[in-house]
Amino acid sequence: MSDIILKACNLKKYYEVNQGLFSSGDLVKAVDDVSLEVRRGETFAIVGESGCGKSTLGRLLMQLLVPTEGEVEFEGKALSKHSDKDLSTLRKEVQFVFQDPFSSLNPRMTVRKLISEPLEIHRKDLSSKQRDDKVKQLLEQVGLRVEHANRYPHEFSGGQRQRIGIARALASGPKLIIGDEPVSALDVSVQAQVVNLLDDLRDEFELTLIIIAHDLSIIRQMSDRVAVMYLGKIVEMGPVDEVFSNPRHPYTLALLSAVPEPVVGQEKTLISLLGETPSPTASIPGCRFNNRCQFARNICRKTQPEISVAEAHEKHIVACHFWQDVAQSASENTMNTSRTRNEKLEARFKLYQAALKGEKAVPKLLGAIEQEELT
């Protein structure tokens, strides 16, 4: 079996908007000439701001949208060559987890029905008894209880609903799961639970994950490699640690500097971007980022930068004429200064984690307090 599970070549998705009866409309290049390879067993992240085309790309990758041009190959076979029947087999292997657990579950189905539906379609060999057992097993695997099977989605919190969505995606036994902002609708504490769950499930089921997200710290936590998108194009791609610590594209640099971190008194130099993301219909000659870029020179307004290799051994690639300058600026930036973390705070986190793991000795030391069993 090849090491590459999914491959996209020169993928394009154009939409024509504002079309009149006699006039041709504007062209929105939602995804413009994107090529990528996802390796078996890795978590691949696609990051970018709203309107950069990351969700469109996610849908193209599993043929929920048909590309205008280009090709997606899953396990060496081009998706466009699939017949409808083959496509339904593909759906068994590639599943999707949506962002909003409130609108992606049918409110009139019980959890049992929701999770057994993909089994009915893809696992016709199972008897209804076996299906039921499988539902119970899946519920437990995603951290829900067996009795939850009889309830309806509205009875669950956001985090629990996202777990139902994940169980549903796992049901058909997929090899690849694409998550479109799978944790962004969740609160911090619940978000951490779901991030850990996805991590565990990836190991347990030997899955490959593609995570689409806008939150850079979530992406760093979850993924092995990352592609940064801006206006339909991948501007930088590489291993997540390499890209985050040595950003080579000015957009990545600006994104990283804009993330507010939960640390007091550490001011990052903010690399502000000029203005806002241009309208998707605007045709920008040259590099699409040039009108917001502090490194832009004349060539950027004329010639679109080719993908170049920044770090060969890391397979770190970037589409910028002046990536060497950006590298220079990034290394001067305070961003790379290692943060010395407060020891007192670290000790407190350790205490909390010890208590979480059930090392109950901690509060007991107070003496007077009677210890109650943690359930």
User: 64 in helix, strand or coil?
Assistant: coil
Stretch that binds another protein, among 69-77, 122-130, 296-304, 348-356 (CB under 8 A): 348-356
For residue 48, the minimal CB distance to another protein (Å) is 9
CA torsion angle for 253, 255, 260, 262 (degrees, to 10)?
-70
State CA 153 to chain mean position distance: 24
Stretch that binds another protein, among 26-34, 77-85, 261-269, 282-290 (CB under 8 A): 261-269
Among 188, 203, 306, 313, binds another protein (CB under 8 A): 188
Asked if 199 contacts 192 with a C-beta cutoff of 8 angstroms, the reply is no
Q: Which is nearer to another protein, 53 or 174 (CB)?
A: 53
244 binds another protein (CB under 8 A): yes
Among 256, 296, 317, 320, binds another protein (CB under 8 A): 256
For residue 69, the minimal CB distance to another protein (Å) is 28
Among 218, 227, 296, 319, binds another protein (CB under 8 A): 218
189 binds another protein (CB under 8 A): yes
Residue by residue, DSSP assigns 220-247 as HHH-SEEEEEETTEEEEEEEHHHHHHS-
Site for another protein in 305-324 (CB under 8 A): none
Site for another protein in 121-160 (CB under 8 A): 157-160
214 binds another protein (CB under 8 A): yes
Asked if 60 contacts 10 with a C-beta cutoff of 8 angstroms, the reply is no
Among 196, 308, 324, 331, binds another protein (CB under 8 A): 196
124-127: list long-range contacts, CB under 8 Å, 24+ apart: none
Among 124, 261, 283, 313, binds another protein (CB under 8 A): 261
Site for another protein in 322-341 (CB under 8 A): 335, 338-339, 341
Give ∠ CA 349-355-356 in degrees, rounded to 5. Answer: 85
Among 1, 21, 264, 312, binds another protein (CB under 8 A): 264
369 binds another protein (CB under 8 A): yes
For residue 365, the minimal CB distance to another protein (Å) is 4
d(CA 144, CA 164): 8
Give the C-alpha distances (Å, rounded to integers) separating 55 from 58, 87, 296.
5, 20, 28
Asked if 88 contacts 108 with a C-beta cutoff of 8 angstroms, the reply is no
Among 221, 281, 304, 329, binds another protein (CB under 8 A): 221
Q: Residue 322's closest CA among 257, 249, 256, 234? A: 249
17 binds another protein (CB under 8 A): no
Site for another protein in 71-130 (CB under 8 A): none
Which residue type does 222 have? M
For residue 81, the minimal CB distance to another protein (Å) is 38
d(CA 273, CA 268): 15
3 binds another protein (CB under 8 A): no
d(CA 358, CA 367): 18
Asked if 140 contacts 168 with a C-beta cutoff of 8 angstroms, the reply is no
Residues 6 or more apart from 4 whose CB is under 8 A from it? 37, 38, 39, 40
352 binds another protein (CB under 8 A): yes
Binding site for another protein (CB under 8 A): 49-50, 157-160, 187-193, 195-196, 199, 214, 216-218, 220-221, 241, 244-245, 254-265, 270, 272-273, 276-277, 335, 338-339, 341-342, 344-345, 347-349, 351-356, 361-363, 365-366, 369-372, 374
